[in-house]
Amino acid sequence: MANPLYDTLFGRHAGRAAPFLHLADGKTLSHDAFLRLTARYAHALRAASLEPGDRLAAQIAKSPGALGVYAACVQSGIIFLPLNTGYTADEVEYFVTDSGAKCLLCDPARAEALRPVADGAGAVLLTLDETGAGSLPDAAAGQPDTFETTPRKADDLAAFLYTSGTTGRSKGAMLTQGNLLSNAEVLVDYWRFTEDDVLLHALPIFHTHGLFVATNIMLLAGGSMIFLPKFHIDQVVEALPRATAMMGVPTFYTRLLDDPRFTRDLVAHMRLFVSGSAPLLAETHVAFEDRTGHRILERYGMTETNMNTSNPYDGARRAGTVGFPLPGVEVIVTDPETGDELPQGETGMIEVRGPNVFKGYWNMPEKTAEELRENGFFITGDLGLIDDQGYVQIVGRAKDLIISGGYNVYPKEVEALLDDQPGVLESAVVGLPHPDLGEAVVGFLVPQADAKPDLDAIAEAAAKSLARFKHPRRLIVLNALPRNTMGKVQKNVLRDDYADLLTAK
Ligand code: MCA
Ligand code: AMP
């Protein structure tokens, strides 16, 4: 095949008048119209001197055009690098510079703030907004609506997704065409998606979940998506009767359960609810079934691997587990110290191997070697076990990571900022239970002798450099951080002592 990912997900829909996207304003975009848009964008990107293998960093609102950019990159061999729309200019600068992006695509409203970033990195700055306006669509207007697809091999890179590191620096996970395609093929089959499906899509499209799981599946199945700009409870409740399936993070499901309009009748026709990106509490699973009669299907994945395991479509979807290894994916549990495989039932490090596992971290051979073994197993940083029926259970994380509403926050990055603030001697950042977000970020500060850190000024400094979801929801001043005899900060003590901080009514 000339370009496996493009041909399989996109190209074969050429000429199909069937709907691809149902938009919030009531309009519909057909598969064919989408592909014609894609082709025009691909021409415009070539005209902007982007060649196969170049990186395009995109910080753009969720819209049909944004998906068009993804498709145009796949069709023209450009590596797509989507960025969280919440990232500050400082954060974007790191990704653009580190990836060596040839183009930075942003919202026109952000162009002024991001121009120095693009100029500094020698990248072309293009714009696109959620209505489909901007310099990219201007350049695409009048371009042909077919584009000669650039040949690619399964092993060629299709996307970079940055994932933060426990040591602070974000790492660019290099995903190949084969990684994305193999996972989409397995999931369509495992979750029984067909062209009759209508997926309610309320996730962001700059992460694996919304882009490579939800969107790639629907493209491969040939179905359509109710494409909402974000998870807005009124829009979701209104759209559910027209959908057959929904994918979400646990916060989507707890928010739905909090709404009296979310009834058994509203979702009687649905065939599937999928949850992932963060642990789904067993109580949410149970409350959801009581309310709707549906058992949420929980699965487990990562940026570096796409999806690894899933509860079954038929058969028991067990609360508190992430199900079985997907076909073609091997999961083992190893001793975190020795790396030796542990007997069934014992808790250790989850490792995965399969066609879904990424190629490595961009320009970070040492990091790659630390996490991706020569035998192909990727060390996930998640702790878990495989029970006597083969279900994988995640019981904790060896990596210092907070998952807030499905977004990952690496404490190190926030601690580095807090430590730099006037009057702060040291800090520790932890995730504490939060009723809406699962976990939320809390910062603990120890002042320098006789200093009184200005908490408002610290919050302002965080707002300048870090995306909103990384901001500590609370800053607590302590005389000292709890430490063990080795001098290591005991974050578990902070988590235990302050467990009720954000949940207390
Ligand atoms: C928004 N805010 C957040 C979050 N989202 N703060 C912490 N954590 C968050 N996740 C900020 C907002 O900027 C706002 O700031 C304030 O919190 C309240 O916003 P709210 O309106 O409640 O939030 P929202 O806009 O409704 O968003 C919540 C959300 C959203 C719907 C849960 O975060 C979301 O769509 N999350 C999904 C993330 C996702 O797709 N993850 C997949 C990663 P202010 O107070 O200043 O107004 S892929 C992955 O993990 C792997 C591969 C996998 O397995 O899938
Ligand atoms: P990311 O780096 O954004 O790809 O996040 C991946 C991490 O999310 C995994 O390593 C897990 O810690 C977590 N995760 C994803 N799905 C689940 C799940 N169903 N249950 C628990 N944790 C999950």
Residue by residue, DSSP assigns 195-206 as TT-EEEE-S-SS
The CA-based dihedral angle spanning residues 3, 4, 6, 7, taken in that order and rounded to the nearest 10 degrees: 90
Q: How far is CA 489 from CA 240, 363, 374, 430, 500, in A?
A: 46, 31, 33, 11, 20
Q: Do 369 and 308 reside in the same domain of the chain?
A: yes
Whether the Cβ atoms of residue 241 and residue 266 lie closer than 8 Å to each other? yes
Q: Is residue 31 part of a domain?
A: yes
Decide: helix, strand or coil at residue 347: coil
Closest listed ligand to the CA of 206: 1
Best residue among 62, 213, 469 to mutate for probing ligand 1's pocket (most ligand atoms within 8 Å of CB) is 469
For a substitution probing ligand 2, which of 382, 395, 469 has the most ligand atoms within 8 Å of its CB?
382
Domain boundaries, position 126? 4-16+24-152
Print pLDDT tens along the chain (505 aa). Answer: 599 999 999 999 999 999 999 999 999 999 999 999 999 999 999 999 999 999 999 999 999 999 999 999 999 999 999 999 999 999 999 999 999 999 999 999 999 999 999 999 999 999 999 999 999 999 999 999 999 999 999 999 999 999 977 666 899 999 999 999 999 999 999 999 999 999 999 999 999 999 999 999 999 999 999 999 999 999 999 999 999 999 999 999 999 999 999 999 999 999 999 999 999 999 999 999 999 999 999 999 999 999 999 999 999 999 999 999 999 999 999 999 999 999 999 999 999 999 999 999 999 999 999 999 999 999 999 999 999 999 999 999 998 899 999 999 999 999 999 999 999 999 999 999 999 999 999 999 999 999 999 999 999 999 999 999 999 999 999 999 999 988 899 999 999 999 999 997 6
Q: Which of 356, 382, 397 is the last residue of a domain?
A: 397
| 310 Cβ inside 6 Å of ligand 2 | no
In this prediction the pTM is 0.97
Question: Does 161 map to a domain?
Answer: no
124 and 233 belong to one structural domain = no
Is position 170 within any domain? Answer: no
Q: What is the dihedral of CA 405, 408, 414, 416, to 10 degrees?
A: 180
Instruction: Please enumerate in sequence order all residues whose Cβ is within 8 A of that of 220, keeping only pairs 6 or more positions apart, or say none.
Output: 8, 9, 184, 185, 188, 193
Ligand 2 site-directed mutation target among 183, 300, 385, 409, most atoms within 8 Å of CB: 300
Q: Are residues 272 and 239 in the same domain?
A: yes
Q: Are 202 and 97 members of one domain?
A: no
Q: How far apart are CA 131 and CA 62, in angstroms?
A: 10
CA-closest residue to ligand 1 atom 22: 436
Same domain for 350 and 387, yes or no, is yes
Q: Which of 179, 322, 403, 468 to mutate to test the pocket of ligand 1 (most atoms within 8 A of CB)?
A: 468
**Relative to the CA of 441, which ligand 1 atom is closest?**
7
Ligand positioned closest to the Cα atom of 208: 1
Q: Is the CB of 36 under 6 A from ligand 2?
A: no
The rounded radius of gyration (Å) of the Cα atoms in the chain is 23
CATH code (residue 481) = 3.30.300.30
Q: What is the CATH number of the domain that holds 11?
A: 3.40.50.12780
Is 207 among the domain residues?
Answer: yes
**Size of the chain in residues:** 505
Q: Which residue has the tokens 């490595």?
A: 360
**Pocket lining: 408 vs ligand 2, CB cutoff 6 Å:** yes
Residues with CB under 6 A from ligand 1: 203-204, 207-210, 230-231, 249, 251, 276-277, 301-303, 404-407, 437, 468-469
303 C-beta closer than 6 A to ligand 2: yes
Do both 248 and 316 map to the same domain? yes
312 within domain boundaries: yes
Is 308:333 a contact under the CB 8 Å cutoff?
Answer: no
Among 58, 56, 62, CA closest to 76: 56
Determine, yes or no, domain membership for 168: no
Number of domains comprising the chain: 3
Same domain? For 126 and 207 the reply is: no
